[in-house]
Structure 1
Amino acid sequence: MTLKNYLYSILLLGLALILVGCQSQKSQSKAKDASWTAVKKRGKLIVATETGFAPFAFKTLVDGKDTIVGSDVDMVKAIADQLGVEVEFKEMSFDNVLATVQSGKADIGISGISITKERQKSFLFSTGYYTAKTTLMIQKSQEEKLVSIDDFADKSIASQKGSIQETLAKEVFSDAQQVSLPQTGEMVMELKQGKVEGILLEEPIAKAYVAKNNDLMISSLDIPSDNSDQYGILLPKTSQALANKIDSVLKPMVTSGEVDQMIQDAFNLSVNQ
C-alpha cells in the first residue's frame, strides 16, 4: 500500500467513526427522552396550573367540593383520556407553574400560557390552541379620564408576574408605576380598591371578570396590535416525545372546533357560577 492510499484509508476510517459517533449520540438523545414512557408507566399526567384564569382555569363548587375547572382543564382531561392516563392537577401561582415545569416536577403546565420566542428557549410548547389579545381593564368611573397611554403617566399598572403582560406593561406604559402580582385575583382586588388604575389581561380573562364585576370595564384604549398571542401547553425542553403524543390528540381537537366550544362552555360557567 502506498503512503497516499494509507493516508486515504485513515481518512475514511476517521469519517466513518465520526458518523457512527453522531448516530450513536442521536440514538442516545432519543433514548434519553422518556417523557411519554414515564407518564405511561406512572399512568398519570401531572399538570401545574394557576386557577385565577377564568375561563381557562378557575375554581368552583362541584357537588359541594371546591374543584379546579375551565377549558384548559377540560382540554387536558380529554387529551389524557385519549392517551389512556389519569390527570393530577397541582395548583400554584403562575410564575411557579413555569418553574415547576422547567424543573420536571410537573409534566405539563396550563392556564392560558402564551407561546413566546423567549419561553421557547427554555420550554417546549404544544401546537397553539387559542389566539388572544391583551386588553386593559379599568374602573368604569375612570372611563373618561383614562383614554390614552399618556393618561397613565405616574399612575399604576398591574400585571401578572412572569406573564407577557408584565413585559408589555413596561414597554407600552413606561411612564406608569409597575405593579407585578402573582395572582390575577389580587390584581382585580387592587383595581377595585383603587390601588392601581389599570390591569393588563388577556381579553377572555378580562371579559370573565368584567361580567361578574359591574364596576369594571375593558378600556377602549388600543394596546399595540402586535400583542396578540397564542396559547400552548407548556412542557420541559426535553419532553419532545410527550409533546408529540399531546399534539396527536390536540391538533384534531383544535381543527374540529372542540377546543373553542370548551372555551365558550367554560366562559358561560365562569359568569353564571
Structure 2
Amino acid sequence: MLSTIIRAAFSAACAGFISIGAVQAQAPASALDAIQSAGTLRICTTGDYKPFTNAVGDSYEGIDIEMAKSLAKAIGVEPKFVRTKWAELMADFTGGKCDIAMGGIGVTLERQKRVFYSDPALRTGKIPLVRCADKDRFQSVADIDKPGVTAIANPGGTNERFAKSNFKQAKVTLHQDNVGIFDEILAGRADVFVTEAIEATVQQKLKPGLCAINPDKPLTFIEIGYLLPRGDVIFKAFVDQWLHIAKATGEYQRYYEQYLR
C-alpha cells in the first residue's frame, strides 16, 4: 500500500514538472526578445521638450535620451531614435514604429487604455509660464481664465488637454511648434503657457523675460513615464527593474542635474 502511494506521488510530481516545462516552453513572445534579436531598440521621441528630449541636428539630447541609451545598453543593443510629434505619438507607437516612447511623456488614463506605462520616472505638475512683467497677474487658473487673455499650447498632449479643460473664457490657441511657443509669449502674441514645472523652469533660464509661476506649487499632479506595448508584462518588468536600479544608483539624478543646469 505504501509503495503504491509513493509511486503515485512520484508520478504526480513528474507530471507537475512536465506541466511547468510545457508552460515555460509556451511562454508568450515579448518585445524584449524581438529587440535582442534585431540588435536595436527603437525609441519614439518628439525632440522638442527640454530637458527631456531635444533635437540637435540629426541627434538628440536630454534626460530621457540619456536614459534611452542606458536602457539599450542594459538590453545589449544599439539605440535608434524615431522622430514623432505629440499629436502623432500614440498612433506612431501603437502602429509599431518603435519599441518604447520616451521624452517627458505624462501618464494619463486615456493613454493607459491603449498602452502600458513604465513605473514613474518623475513626479511633477503643471504651472504657468508667462512674461515676467505679468507674473503677479497670472497666479492661478482663475487669474488666467478671463476674457482678453490668450493661453497657448502645443497640440496633441496634456498641455492642450489642460488648456481646453480649464480655460473657458480665455482664448486658447494651438501652436504647432512646441519650441516656438516661448517666443510667442515674449512677442506678446500669447500670454500664458501652462506646462510641466520642469520645462517652465528650464525655459525661464533659456529665455530671459519669461517667468515660471510657483514651480514648487504646481496646479496639477503628473507622473512622467515611458510608453510600453500593452500586455507585454515581460518587457515592462525588465524596464521597471532597470529604471529602479537607475534611480537607486543615482544614474537618473545625474542626468536630471546635467540637463537642468
TM-score (norm 2): 0.82
| 3-state DSSP of counterpart to 1:112 | strand
Question: Deviation at 1:190?
Answer: 1.7
Question: Deviation at 1:27?
Answer: 8.8
- Separation in 2, partners of 1:28, 1:190: 58
1:14-47 per-position Cα deviation (integer Å, ceiling 9, x unaligned): xxxxxxxxxxxx999952x431111111000001
Structure 2 counterpart of 1:124, one-letter code: F
Q: Which of 195, 200, 204 is 1:210 aligned to?
A: 204
- Separation in 2, partners of 1:256, 1:221: 26
User: In the TM superposition, what are the counterparts of 1:62-211 in structure 2 within 5 Å?
Assistant: 67-152=59-144, 153-154=146-147, 155-211=149-205
Structure 1 counterpart of 2:241, one-letter code: S
Contact 1:94 1:182 in 2 (8 A): no
Is structure 2 residue 245 aligned with structure 1 residue 249?
no
- Separation in 2, partners of 1:147, 1:127: 32
Contact 2:45 2:84 in 1 (8 A): yes
- Separation in 2, partners of 1:92, 1:234: 13
Question: Deviation at 1:224?
Answer: 6.6
Q: 1:16 maps to what in 2?
A: none
- Separation in 2, partners of 1:114, 1:150: 24
- Separation in 1, partners of 2:122, 2:218: 19
Q: 2:230 maps to what in 1?
A: 237
Q: Which of 29, 32, 35 is 2:31 aligned to?
A: 35
Change (3 A) 1:173 1:41: same
| 3-state DSSP of counterpart to 1:165 | helix
TM-score (norm 1): 0.79
Question: Deviation at 1:210?
Answer: 0.8
Q: Which of 235, 239, 252 is 1:259 aligned to?
A: 252
| 3-state DSSP of counterpart to 2:106 | coil
Change (3 A) 1:29 1:132: farther
Contact 2:127 2:218 in 1 (8 A): no
Matched residues, number = 237
- Say which structure, 1 or 2, has more relative contact order (CA 8 Å, 6+ apart): 1
Q: 1:50 maps to what in 2?
A: 46
Contact 1:135 1:202 in 2 (8 A): yes
Structure 1 counterpart of 2:69, one-letter code: K
1:234-268 per-position Cα deviation (integer Å, ceiling 9, x unaligned): 12214332222222211111233321221111222
Unmatched 5+ stretches in structure 1: 1-25, 269-273
Unmatched 5+ stretches in structure 2: 1-22
| 3-state DSSP of counterpart to 1:109 | strand
| 3-state DSSP of counterpart to 1:243 | helix
Structure 2 counterpart of 1:128, one-letter code: P
Structure 1 counterpart of 2:111, one-letter code: R
Structure 1 counterpart of 2:247, one-letter code: V
Structure 2 counterpart of 1:217, one-letter code: C
Report percent identity of matched pairs: 22
